Copies of this chain bind each other. A is one copy, B any other.
């Protein structure tokens, strides 16, 4: 007998399947003794209920799915823990669903919603392009966390920082330090999501401070994965080799900054004496790097908590602030200094 089912247990216990079901699901209307007896034989025979059958039968389920594109992105690391904690605190179960690079997260959401009878969905990462028509097929509440794509603006519930504004602030800080030639190490050229927003903030700050925008100082990822140390290293190398003058590097993300720092070091440069370096996101590694890196810290844990709170408010049909924008924190550290 390969698969042991609820029927087998019922037979072994000499009871009906519904009684076994009651024992499994902690129903109140069951005799305590028979319940124990059933639970014992279940343990004895290592019976494990088939989840597909349960999901199929059940109409509700109290489970929340978190869909992540780029699951090994360190940015998500501590957020996942918060999701896990907050969701189980609400007595819901938590499904972490990895979305492959070439997969459409909305398709995954639609499928998973039916399969697991989800009560709510969190989207983390990805989701830069999508059609409204598809989004409409998701029939449970969902929250977009941490992704600030302009196309999503004001349409769906979300918890983000204002990437454009915070990037503006960072650039402004660097300008106030006296830097006039700030190289920007960006994401891919065709990026339409946070990568683009951060570039925009950079440009606007330059403009507002009367610094002409110099295309030669803006580098885009070519070949390497975006937001990687590898890519930061390569871009900084290209920058150095271009002969372009600059006094500061502003990297679009922390990993990129780390890669860029290493390129500078390998070229015999000092940070911040020869060049200042700043970045965006505020991952732990920026604190432990030497020199520690000035960065724009996103309040990841608070945002994760707010995401879950927003999602549950949506589920419970409470009035909500649909689009929540958090402030990032400019963390000034050793990698930047005033010049002139």
Is A53 located at the chain interface by the 8 A CB criterion? yes
Interface string of A79-119 (1 = CB under 8 A from B): 01000100000000010101010000000001100111000
Measured as residues with beta carbon below 8 angstroms from the partner, the interface class of chain A is: 35 or more
Q: Which of A151-159, A203-211, A239-247, A283-291 contacts B (4 or more CB under 8 A)?
A: A283-291
Cβ-defined contact, B51 with A284, below 8 A? no
Is A233 located at the chain interface by the 8 A CB criterion? yes
Is A31 located at the chain interface by the 8 A CB criterion? no
Question: Chain A contact residues: over half helix, strand or loop, or mixed?
Answer: helix
Q: Which residues of B contact A258 (CB under 8 A)?
A: 285, 288
Cβ-defined contact, A96 with B71, below 8 A? yes
Cβ-defined contact, A80 with B74, below 8 A? no
Is A137 located at the chain interface by the 8 A CB criterion? yes
Chain B CB within 10 Å, residue with most, of A52, A56, A94: A52
Q: Which of A13-21, A142-150, A160-168, A259-267 contacts B (4 or more CB under 8 A)?
A: A259-267
Cβ-defined contact, A100 with B84, below 8 A? yes
Cβ-defined contact, B111 with A51, below 8 A? yes
Cβ-defined contact, B74 with A74, below 8 A? yes
Cβ-defined contact, B72 with A80, below 8 A? yes
Question: Please, how many angstroms separate the alpha-carbon atoms of A78 and B262 in the complex?
Answer: 21
Question: Please, how many angstroms separate the alpha-carbon atoms of A292 and B261 in the complex?
Answer: 12
Which A positions have Cβ atoms within 8 angstroms of B? 2-3, 46, 48, 50-53, 55-56, 71-72, 74, 76-78, 80, 84, 94, 96, 98, 100, 110-111, 114-116, 137, 139, 229-230, 233, 258-259, 261-262, 265, 284-285, 287-290, 292
Top 3 A-B pairs ranked by shortest CB distance? A72-B77, A51-B115, A52-B55
